[in-house]
Structure 1
Amino acid sequence: MRIGISGTFWAEPMVGSGQYLRHLIEHLPHVGPQHEYVLFLPAYTQAEIPQIPHIAVDLVPTPFDKLHPKLAKLWYEQIELPRAALRLAVDMLHVPYYAPPRRQLVPTVVTVHDLIPLILPVYRGSMMMRAYTALATSAVRRCRQLVAVSDHTRDDIIDILKVNALQVHTIYEGVAPDYQPQSEAQISQTLQRFNITQPYFYYIGGFDVRKNLTTLLRAFGRVRRRIDQPIKLVIAGNRPKVTSAFFPALETTILDEDLAADIIFTGRVSNAENAALFAGAHAFVWPSTYEGFGLPPLEAMSCGTPVISSNTSSMPEIIGEAGILLPPHDTEAWAMAMLRMLNDQALNTEYRQRGLQRASQFNWHSFAAQMIKVYEKA
């Protein structure tokens, strides 16, 4: 069987869809060597054409590549990608994000990471963005098979898109090999680079409104006022340049809680730095109100870091009993959990062990093997 895969996010290896695509491409030839694989690479992304063993790469141009990237993306997804699949005689096409072609010239599989734009109003965007989402939703319903990244997302797909449950398959993501327990030297070098002293709590995962950072800051403020020792909250990632309903301002809360000297914003971090920051933290804190999967808590557990997480959406499913799960807006519960992780070393050690055991159950090899079965079914 010849399998085509859309490479829209190949040029963005740091975003979730880019990581998903790269791990998929890396592992498919190992678990399914009996098949052929073609990576369709849209020319508008200006990605360097990769040399990947056992993977053919086809560069797909559009008339708008140098004129209008958004229009080029739409044209690639809806016009050129299905044409390329037909031209190279692939037996099935996998679009690993929420934008398959509506006119499907070959059997098509789509990965649905979440249905956030259909569930949370603030994520619906402009009229143009809503039209794009409506087109994508119509196309997703036409796909031969659908892959969900969690049972929670699978339930959303069935309930909201009204898709036959037999067409929707949960396949969990894995953890990159970068994320594992780190040596003291690796941790120390990274902490020195960012001028961080221990103990600290760590967060990475975005600044948009559902990430619920205001609750985290208020809970940390309570922790800070209840202990005598220095303690930091380290927040990684590129902060938005402007605030809005989508990206709420954090500065007001930081000033209200008198935390200006206790918050460290690192900016963007590499995978190696991220792993060291996970490993050096007293706990990873994850107050998000909605996730289709939620990879950062899993990466934290894989580094041996205790996790304090919200108990909503997919989080109980992914974390299980390996972390402390809390209502996302219960500020006092968050403060108490953070204090427990600081003051109870036995509890901290217990959750480190639980997390390592839990994270070992998620791997990209198993993910790719299950994906092959879905391809064959399609």
Structure 2
Amino acid sequence: MYVYYLSRELQRMGHDVEVISSAPLPEVSEGIVLHQLRSSSIYHPGSSFRKNLLKVRNLVDLHELCASRLGVFAEPWAFSFRAYAKIKERCKQRRFDIVHDNQGLGYGLLSVKRLNIPVIATIHHPLPIDRQADLEQATGFRQRQRIRKFYSFIRMQAFVARRLDRIITVSQSSAKDTNLFFRVPPDKIRVVYNGIDTEIYRGNEEAGRNRHGLIMVANTDDRKKGVLYLLQALQLLRDDGIKLTIVDDAARHSSYIEDVGPLPSYGCKLVNKLNLDAMVHFTGRLTREELAQHYSAAQIAVVPSLYEGFGIPAAEAMACGTPVVATSGGALPEVVGDAGILVPPANADALAAAIKQLLNDKQAQRQMSEAGKKRVREKFNWEQAARKTVEVYQEAMTTK
């Protein structure tokens, strides 16, 4: 949703915005031009090597197809060169003041710089953190090798990030880690917090009349989201009659192999393994409005992540007046502030204790509910994010 909200606010400020993307396409506001680029990756649902081979048009297509067949995530590399070709083509009709990359960080961006256009990128968090989380929870040598191969594009991202005009990160924590993992000089990094759409994410009086249970919003296949530790905490609370709603699919397509159809998600497999079926419900995908209703109906939003570059679910829950129990991983302390309880990452005992404590303290729930709404209004809004992003654009344009 980063592209949708940022481009919408930039347009409202009077800027002319064009978005270049490949599948899955982002939603954009009316009046914003969306250029769709093709992809030869076999990681998309319904794709296969044989189907995509028939669509190969050039060496970029062939490289992406063969690399993905071998287990390498080549989309950032391939997308960057296709985007460069599209920008070069569009420059015949118009002039771009800035190119803003959303964490693709492919080599093609360096070609864009040769068009004499400043290029900046947003790094939500550096992906070596994801790789490490996946490796730590991998089972067996073969799975670890698949993960290392899949993330082999990270070296390219670090190389490109150091050579762009400016880097935006969405938290101080992410800024520090971008410097640590990608060695981007601190004087090139600017922090611009994400916003929350408070027209959608706000307290729903009807849904909130009888708040009950816990909610977690995450792709549970992403190991750093910490679903393992939340489910272990739920085991410890089995006698307390607590219900957990997980906003995620119970089955999805694999990230590391050619598409073979939906498979049970990591979270769903853990629920079955830990015998928690009666305590956990998966919603599947929800609209933003439905998600806001689920936040408003929950007593506590739990964010058990090992790391977050920002922590959108925590901020969305806070905007809906839902108290948060989160870990201290990454940027979560920056986001949550006094609107929740923080515990160490990867600690099921601490998570269970904090959940039980907050469930039994109605006064603390009310205080955190009000603190969360206030914090989101003051610190996390898209209009403010867009203004600060434009300041980074102007800086990049004047110092190029």
Same fold (TM over 0.5): yes
With over 3 angstroms needed to count, the CA separation of the structure-2 counterparts of 1:340 and 1:117, relative to structure 1, is same
Pick closer, same or farther for the CA change 1:214–1:244 going to 2, 3 Å. farther
1:292 is aligned to 2:309? yes
Cα distance, 1:134 vs structure 2: 2.4
TM-score (norm 2): 0.76
Q: Which residue of 2 aligns with 1:232?
A: 243
One of 196, 202, 214 as aligned partner of 1:201: 214
User: In structure 2, what is the equivalent of residue 367 of structure 1?
Assistant: 385
Return the alpha-carbon distance in structure 1 between the equivalents of residues 24 and 224 of structure 2: 31
Q: Supply the AA of the counterpart residue of 1:155.
A: K
Other-structure match for 2:195: 174
Q: Is the 8 A contact 2:103 2:122 kept in 1?
A: yes
**Residue matched to 1:59:** 35
Please give the secondary structure, in 1, of the residue aligned with 2:366.
Answer: helix
- Given that 1:316 and 1:325 are in contact with CA atoms closer than 8 Å, whether structure 2 keeps it comes out as yes
Question: Residues 35-74 of structure 1 correspond to what in structure 2 (within 5 A)?
Answer: 36-42=15-21, 45=23, 52-53=30-31, 55=32, 57=33, 59=35, 67=55, 70=64, 74=77
Per the alignment, do residues 130 and 202 of structure 1 end up closer, same or farther by CA in structure 2, a change over 3 Å counting?
A: closer
Task: State the 1:119 CA deviation.
Answer: 6.3
Aligned with residue 6 of structure 2, among 10, 24, 35: 24
> Structure 1 residues 216 and 58, CA, compared in 2 at 3 Å: closer, same or farther?
closer
1:15 aligned residue: none
Q: Is structure 2 residue 98 aligned with structure 1 residue 92?
A: yes
Three-state SS of the structure 1 residue aligned to 2:326 is: strand
Can you list the C-alpha shifts for 1:175-194, whole angstroms capped at 9, x where unaligned?
0121000021x568xxxxxx
> Is the 2:311–2:331 contact (alpha carbons within 8 Å) kept by the matching residues of 1?
yes
* Matched residue, 1:219: 233
The equivalences for 1:334-373 within 5 A come to: 334-360=351-377, 361-373=379-391
Structure-2 change in CA distance of 1:167 and 1:85 (3 Å): farther
Deviation at 1:255, TM superposition (A): 5.0
What residue number does 1:120 align with? 131
Given that residues 150 and 314 in structure 1 are in contact (C-alpha distance below 8 angstroms), is that contact kept between their aligned partners in structure 2? yes
Q: Secondary structure at the match of 1:180?
A: coil
Length, aligned pairs only: 341
Distance in 1 between residues matched to 2:213 and 2:365, nearest whole Å: 13
What is the DSSP-based 3-state SS (H/G/I as helix, E as strand, rest coil) of the residue aligned with 2:302?
strand
Indicate the SS of the match to 1:296: helix
Percent identity, aligned pairs only? Answer: 25
Deviation of residue 237 (structure 1)?
1.1
Verify the 8 A CA contact 2:301 2:323 in the aligned structure 1: yes
Q: SS where residue 267 of structure 1 aligns?
A: coil
Mapped contact 2:271–2:280 kept (Cα < 8 A): no
Corresponding position: 1:143 with 2:160: no
- Residues 110 and 74 of structure 1: is their aligned pair in 2 closer, same or farther, counting only changes over 3 Å? same
Moved more, 99-108 or 74-83: 74-83
Q: Secondary structure at the match of 1:321?
A: coil
Distance in 2, Cα, partners of 1:299 & 1:151? 19
Distance 2:39 2:204 in 1: 48
How far is 1:211 from its partner? Answer: 1.4
Q: Deviations over 1:31-89 (max 9, x none)?
A: 3x3xx4241434x5495996734x4x263656979826756874441241452464332
Question: Is the Cα contact below 8 Å between 1:198 and 1:231 reproduced in 2?
Answer: no
- Which residue identity does 1:315 align to in structure 2? L
The alignment's TM-score, normalised by the length of structure 1, stands at 0.80
SS at match of 1:304: coil
Pairwise CA distance, 1:122: 5.2
Q: Deviations over 1:276-303 (max 9, x none)?
A: 1111111001110011111000000000
> Can you list the C-alpha shifts for 1:103-159, whole angstroms capped at 9, x where unaligned?
222210100111123663355865664443322322222110110011111111222
Partner AA of 2:341 in structure 1? I
Report the Cα offset of residue 330 of structure 1: 2.4
Tell me whether 68-77 or 146-155 shows the greater mean CA deviation: 68-77
From the superposition, tell whether residues 76 and 285 of structure 1 become closer, same or farther in structure 2 (CA, over 3 Å).
closer
- Matching residue's letter, 2:231: L
Q: CA deviation at 1:231?
A: 2.8
Quick check: 1:40–1:81 contact (8 Å CA) kept in 2? Answer: no
Out of 99, 102, 127, the position equivalent to 2:110 is: 102
Specify which of 80, 90, 98 is matched with residue 77 of structure 1: 80
Asked if the contact 1:293/1:314 (under 8 Å) is kept, the reply is yes
In angstroms, what is the RMSD of aligned CA positions?
3.1
Identify if the C-alpha distance between structure 1 residues 51 and 248 changes in structure 2 by more than 3 Å, giving closer, same or farther. closer
Stretch deviating more after TM superposition (242-251 or 363-372): 242-251
- Once the two structures are overlaid, the 10-residue window that deviates more, 237-246 or 216-225, is 237-246
| Larger CA deviation: 105-114 vs 61-70 | 61-70
Does the CA contact (< 8 Å) of 2:227 and 2:267 recur in 1? no
Paired residue secondary structure (2:237): helix
Cα shift readout 1:172-216 (whole Å, capped 9, x = no counterpart): 0000121000021x568xxxxxxxx96211111110211111211
